[in-house]
Chains A and B, each alone.
Chain A
Amino acid sequence: MRKLFKILSDKRGITPVLSSLLLTVVAVAAMAIATSATYVITTNLRETMSERVIVEDVWFNNYTNSIDIYVRNVGEVTVYILAVYVNHTSQSFTNPFTLEIGEHQWLNISQNWVPNSSYYIDVLTTRGTQVAAYYEAP
């Protein structure tokens, strides 16, 4: 009992132990921050590289007086559609519009169109991928 008390009351050598411990904590924290930052950066980069979207069909719909775009995700990550431009003008659509890997569906744009006119349709994803082309209304 007396021996244990002696050990506990002895303050010599505490500073080197504390400094080593602190240094270890700082080193581990720095490495953890570096690793997680790296993970986030590479994940973003990989996702941007793996994104592929196509427009299967564009239907100038007479019944609903809208432009319906059929999009398909052919890439390896989930796609989030951010904006759709018709002749460089932003259009409203059902937001959020998400396409899982391999998923395909209609994207309806409420936009009046004129027969025999050309329309430049541009679909933009949140990662910056663009699918754009000219389509002619029937």
Chain B
Amino acid sequence: MKRLRLDKRGISNVIVAMLSLVLVVIIVSNVILTSYQMNQFDWERMQENVEIVNVANTVDGTTFTLQNKGSVTAHLVSLWVDSATIHQRYDMNLFINAGDSVNYTLSDIGLVDNASIVKVITDRGTVSMFNSSWQNP
């Protein structure tokens, strides 16, 4: 045992192997962690399902009824009203919990006609469009 302890041969090999092992573990864990995070992001994006249930021009402006039919909380960041002449974007900062319905009213918006396309964008990049026609007051 004493002889084995005093024998210094092969120590450098062990040190090199250990250092290389540490380096490899750091690289692999780094890549795996990033991959896991982005997989989680993509999975959450796939679970997102926001629907524009109704759009109505009222005396207060235009009211958009939004419903989150997905299984994750949706963070809406943009609302688009695209007509034949102009594509107008409105900033949004609205969180809708899974299963919830929210009425979102914009007062600084002109009358939206039936030919317009209305769509909302989430911070994960999901786009939801409204295709049906709606009521004017």
- A101 CB to closest chain B CB (Å) equals 11
- Collect the chain A residues with CB atoms within 8 Å of residue B124's CB: 74
- In the bound complex, do residue A57 and residue B87 qualify as a contact, i.e. CB atoms below 8 Å apart? yes
* CB-defined contacts of B82 to chain A, threshold 8 Å: 57, 59
Known: A49-B35, A54-B121. 4 other contacts (CB 8 A): A46-B30, A49-B34, A54-B127, A76-B37
A56-B80 in contact (CB<8A): yes
Residues of A at the B interface (CB closer than 8 Å) are: 31, 34-35, 38, 41-42, 45-46, 49-50, 52, 54, 56-57, 59, 62, 68, 70, 72, 74, 76, 102, 104, 138
Number of interface residues of B (CB under 8 A): 24
Q: Which residue of B lies closest to A45 (CB)?
A: B31
B binding-site residues for A, Cβ under 8 Å: 19, 23, 26-27, 30-31, 34-35, 37-38, 41, 78, 80, 82, 84-85, 87, 89, 119, 121, 123-125, 127
Tell me what chain A mostly uses at the interface: helix, strand, loop, or mixed: mixed
Interface of chain B: mostly helix, strand, loop or mixed: mixed
Chain A residue with the shortest CB-CB distance to B15 = A27
Complex contact A72–B121 (CB within 8 A): yes
Decide: A74 and B125 in contact? CB cutoff 8 A: yes
User: Which residue of A is nearest B39, CB measured?
Assistant: A49
Report whether A38 and B84 are in contact in the complex, using a CB–CB cutoff of 8 Å: no
Instruction: Pull 19 A–B residue pairs with CB atoms less than 8 Å apart, ordered by A.
Output: A35-B23, A42-B31, A45-B31, A45-B34, A46-B34, A52-B38, A52-B41, A54-B125, A56-B80, A56-B89, A56-B121, A57-B82, A57-B87, A59-B82, A70-B89, A72-B125, A74-B125, A76-B38, A104-B78
